[in-house]
Amino acid sequence: MAGIKEYLQVLSPDQVEQIHLNALRVLEEVGVWLPNRRVLEIFADSGAAVDFPGQTVRIPADLVQASIAKFPPCFTWHARNPANTIVMDGTRSYFSFPDSTVRIIDLEGNRRPGTAADGEDICRLCDALPNMAIASTGVNPPDMPNMVLEAWLTRTMYTHTSKPIYGTCRNAEVSNMTLRMAEVVAGCCPHLPPGQLPLAIITNPVSPLYNEPGQLEGMMVYLERGLPVSISPEVQAGATGPATLAGTMVQQTAEFLAHATLAQLVSPGVSVIYGTVSSVFDMKKMMLPYGAPEADLLGIATVQMARYYGIPARTTGGSSDANALGMEAGIDSLMSTLLGMLAGSSFVLHGAGEMENTMTVSYEKLLVDEEVISMARRIVDGIEVTPETLAFDVIRKVGPRGDFFGEKHTLHHFRREQFMPGLIVRDKYETWEAAGSKRAEERARDRAKEILATHQPDPLPDEVVRELDAIYTSVLRSEGVA
């Protein structure tokens, strides 16, 4: 398909420049709090103004600009199955599985705490869905200690899907454990370039203008290995950042640039993604709404800033503040999904299935969101205009009062031109009623059950599974769980 001709934008080029310059000013005049001795020393050795007792860094603009110049424009996110490897170059939007919820609405309609079995099922389900490109388990079982949880997450993703996965920067111990598992899996992936791992990293700076010791030490471990890193601030406009969206973008960009500069100082030329999880803080409900239109505006602006820096962008999508399936959940998912894709977001985290302010995942909503992404992708694919698609010859052949059903041109093009629904029903009312009058969520539930009953991911070699199990078991023992 031809693709859209212009990306959706909410900022003029001059406004993008103003945000960048003010972010540089924040870094140089205000600084960031980075409570890690080694991080402080790296910045000091590079010419930043470091207050060691106060653990703050003021970063000169020329150091930031020199780091920006080292950003690679794209990178390859390797999967253990090369057919699922993706290229982050800004030309396509890739959606993640649902991520880090604590509850699930299961296939019997029960709302309950998520379990390890649920995480395995979500991985298998999303492994079968073409629009779900980046792995997660969907739920973080609430009864697991942190280290056990991180080991379970990584092991489950590697064993229950062959799509690309990511690690988190909780602390150095978690990072080293994740790297050990990634290296084990890399051993059965002959397609990987030398030194590459089937892994990328996500880190979330804390607003306003700081990070936590554990996140910093975990990030350093990954950077020393040269892994791509998505840096995604979560500014709550009016609470942990300015109430104005422009001010939020300035602070968010400063937080991103501080960590992206650190990344280049540790590993020059390492790939970075400018991400956002920012939204407004709802002063009535005292919460951060992911379905707010302002979150979408900040997402579009973030994509523009990432394009200004010549790198991929990460936004959120497919997450709703709704407490039940219905119109509100559909509105939230459609808005964030379509707008993010029209803006050109490369990586959409919380990509599908989430409700209740990212606290709950629904199997039914996951399948509905998969359909929404397919529809949005058809819009983003645009209208192809060529001599063949302009169709003058077939129009002349059919002429007035004819029809195009039997034409070779129709047979050749209609499947490619038309979105073919999977869950959406276009039957007449009587036909729909005779078939059981099933609503979209009921059809989604049936489809999820069918996939889980039949789909298995590409298996890992037995010896690799045993090595992953051994690492997981060692974590259980060290945490006193086994």
Residues of the chain with CATH 3.20.20.480: 1-383+421-482
Rounded CA Rg of the chain: 24
- Among residues 145, 154, 222, 169, the alpha carbon closest in space to that of 478 is found at 145
pLDDT at position 351 is 82
- CATH class name, domain 1-383+421-482: alpha beta
pLDDT at position 84 is 98
- Which uninterrupted H or E stretch holds 46? none
- Which uninterrupted H or E stretch holds 77? strand 75-77
- Among residues 64, 58, 29, 27, the alpha carbon closest in space to that of 44 is found at 58
Do 273 and 312 touch, CB atoms closer than 8 A?
yes
Place of tokens 């253990």: 80
Confirm whether pTM is higher than 0.85. Answer: yes
pLDDT at position 5 is 84
CA pair distance 342, 352, nearest whole angstrom = 17
Task: From first to last of the 482 residues of the chain, give the pLDDT tens digit.
Answer: 478 889 999 999 999 999 999 999 999 999 999 999 999 999 999 999 999 999 999 999 999 999 999 999 999 999 999 999 999 999 999 999 999 999 999 999 999 999 999 999 999 999 999 999 999 999 999 889 999 999 999 999 999 999 999 999 999 999 999 999 999 999 999 999 999 999 999 999 999 999 999 999 999 999 999 999 999 999 999 999 999 999 999 999 999 999 999 999 999 999 999 999 999 999 999 999 999 999 999 999 999 999 999 999 999 988 899 999 999 999 999 999 999 999 999 999 988 999 999 999 999 999 999 999 999 999 999 999 999 999 999 999 999 999 999 999 999 999 999 999 999 999 999 999 999 999 999 999 999 999 999 999 999 999 999 999 999 999 999 999 86
Phi, psi of 66 (to 5 degrees): -65, -35
- Which uninterrupted H or E stretch holds 283? none
CA pair distance 208, 32, nearest whole angstrom = 8
CA pair distance 364, 347, nearest whole angstrom = 23
pLDDT at position 331 is 95
Tokens of 264: 């280049």
Beta bridge mates, 33? 56, 210
Distance of CA 282 to the CA centre of its chain: 24
- Among residues 65, 170, 95, 164, the alpha carbon closest in space to that of 351 is found at 95
CA pair distance 317, 380, nearest whole angstrom = 16
pLDDT at position 4 is 84
- Which uninterrupted H or E stretch holds 50? strand 49-51
Q: Residue 92 contacts by C-beta under 8 Å, 6 or more apart in sequence? A: 86, 346
pLDDT at position 251 is 98
CA pair distance 304, 299, nearest whole angstrom = 9
Do 57 and 291 touch, CB atoms closer than 8 A?
no
Do 54 and 34 touch, CB atoms closer than 8 A?
no
Beta bridge mates, 280? 237
Do 74 and 347 touch, CB atoms closer than 8 A?
no
CA pair distance 230, 299, nearest whole angstrom = 14
CA pair distance 119, 103, nearest whole angstrom = 11
Do 188 and 80 touch, CB atoms closer than 8 A?
yes
